[in-house]
Amino acid sequence: MRAFREWFEDYQKNHRFQVVPRGLDQLDGWHFQEDSGNLVHRSGRFFSIVGLDVRTNFGHVHHWMQPIINQPEIGILGFLTRRIDGILHFLIQAKMEPGNVNGAQISPTVQATHSNYTMAHGGKRVPYLNWFLDSTSAKCLVDQFQSEQGARFLAKRNRNMIVQVHDDEPIDILDGFFWLTLGQLFALLEEDNLVNMDSRTVLSCIRFAESDLGEVSAEEKGDSASFGVDVLESLRCGDRFGLHDFNALTAWLTRMKTTYSLRIQRAPLNRVAGWVFDNGVIRHHQNRFFTVIGVEVAIDNREVGGWHQPLIESAKGGVICFLCQKHRGILHFLVQARVEPGNFDCLEMAPTIQLTPSNYDANNPERLPPFTNLLLDIEGVVRRYDAVQSEEGGRFYQDQNRYLVLELEPGRPIPLPANYVWMTIRQMKEFIRFNNFFNIEARGLLSCLCPKLPAPRGRAV
C-alpha cells in the first residue's frame, strides 16, 4: 500500500484542480431555455436541470415541486481487472471531479457518460473504454444497470461493469491509473472521502464465489466479538436462515409498491413553486434541501482542460445508516422501502436511516424519520462502520455523508413500521443482481462492509 499512497500523493500534488463559483446565467455553453426556464447545454447533451411536480402518499409531505437533474443517457462505470501473479487486480483511476472536497478520489477505470464516450465535448478519447464496449475482448464479470440518487436524478441509471482481460494481455498503465488488489481497495473504503461513489456502487455488485470466501476457523466462529465473521455468515447463509425467506421479501416489496404511490410530472423550471433564482443560483426559499450553483472548472488531466457546469450543493450533515442485529444467530440488516421522486419504479430499498437533519423542521421532532433516535443512543449500540464518504463529484458540490453501520444488541425489540424489513446480506445481494431494487446509498454502504470480511478477501465472480 505504501507504493499506492506515494503515487496517490504525488498525483494530488502534481495536478491542477481549480473550481470557482460562477452564476448559472454566466456559464459558457449553458442557458435557461426561453419558455421553460430549464437549464440546458447548447449541444442538447450532457444533462439539464428541469422542474418536477411530485405527488406521493409516502412520508409527511404529499406534494411538492423541485428542480431535478435530467440525464436520460446511460453511462458506464467500469473496472478493468487482470490477474497479476495469480491475484485479481483492479485498475483504479485517480480522478479529479469539480465537486470533490479533496481533489482526486479513487474512481473506476472508466467513468463515462454517453456524451463522454461518443465525445460530444470534442475532447480526448476515454482511455480503456474499448474493453467495455467490445464484449468479445474481455471476460465480463459484472454488467448491470444500477440507479443513482432518486432525490436528485430523474430515473438515472448507469451500467456498472467489471471486465477481466486475459492474464497475458499487455495493459499500458497511463498517468493517473494504478493496479490495486480487491483487498487493498476494500481496505481503503475504511478511509474518509477516498473511494468515490462510482467505485462504491460497482464494488457493491460483486458476488463472491464460495471458494473465495475465507474459511472461518472454529475459534473465529466462537468469537462473538468478530463482526467480520458475522458479516461473512450473513453473506453466505442460505435463504432458510433469514427471518423471512426471499419469497416473503419479494411479496413485501410488491405490497409496498402497491401501498405507496408516486406521481411525477415534468414542470418548467421557472414554475417550480418554492424555489427562486437569486444571485446566480437556484435555491429553496427557506434555504433548505439543496441549491443549484454554477462553477468554472480547471482540471488538467480531463478530456478537456476547462469548462463551466451546474452542480448541486446539498444541505450539509447527511447521515446514511444501516442498523443491523442478530436474529436467530445471523446478522440481519434493517431495510427501508423508500419513495424518491426520481425512482424508476416508485420505490427502492434504502438504508434504515437516510436523512439530512437540517431539512427537517426543528420544531417538529416527531416528523424525523423512524430510528433517528438510535443515532444518539450509545447504550447497546455498537458502531461497526463510521466514515465520511463523498457523493459523485461530477454532479454534486462537496457533498459528503456520514456512512454508518450500527449493530444493536441481540434481543432488543425494535418495533418496525410496515415499510421496514430485516434481511441477510445474502438476500440483499440477491436483489442487487437485478436493477432498481436497492438505491445507491444502500449499495454504497453495503460495499463498506467488505473490508470487514475475514481474509482471504474474495475475488469477483
**Chain residues in the site for its own copies (CB under 8 A):** 74, 135, 140-145, 159, 207, 246-248, 250-251, 254-255, 257-258, 344-345, 433-434, 437, 461
Q: DSSP letter at 222?
A: H
What minimum distance in Å lies between the beta carbon of 211 and its own copies?
13
The CA distance from 197 to 105, in Å, is 9
Residue with cell 446480506: 425
Min separation Cβ 254 and its own copies, Å: 5
Q: Pick left, alpha or beta for residue 428 (phi over 0 → left; psi -120 to 50 → alpha; otherwise beta).
A: alpha
For its own copies, the closer CB: 239 or 296: 239
DSSP state of 407: E
In whole angstroms, the minimum distance from the beta carbon of 159 to its own copies comes to 6
Q: Which is nearer to its own copies, 80 or 320 (CB)?
A: 80
Residue from 193, 154, 161, 146 nearest 441 by CA: 146
Nearer to its own copies, 140 or 330 (CB): 140
Helix (H) or strand (E) holding 318: strand 318-327
Minimum CB separation from its own copies for residue 26, in Å?
33
Closer residue to its own copies, CB minimum distance, 159 or 457: 159
We find the least distance from the C-beta atom of residue 461 to its own copies, in angstroms, to be 7
* DSSP string across 363-375: T-GGGSPTTGGGG
Q: Closer to its own copies by CB, 46 or 437: give it.
A: 437
Angle of CA points 178, 111, 396, to nearest 5°: 110
* DSSP 8-state symbol, 387: E
Q: How far is the CB of 102 from its own copies (least distance, A)?
A: 32
Alpha-helix residue ranges (DSSP H) falling in 297-411: none
Q: What does residue 31 show for φ and ψ, rounded to 5 degrees?
A: -155, 160
Of residues 141 and 267, the one with the C-beta less far from its own copies: 141
Q: How far apart are CA 351 and CA 341, in angstroms?
A: 17
Q: Given the complex with its own copies, which of 14 and 254 has the nearer CB atom?
A: 254
Whole-angstrom distance, CA of residue 183 vs CA of residue 187: 6
CB of 92 to its own copies, least distance (A): 22
C-alpha–C-alpha distance, residues 269 and 275, integer Å = 9
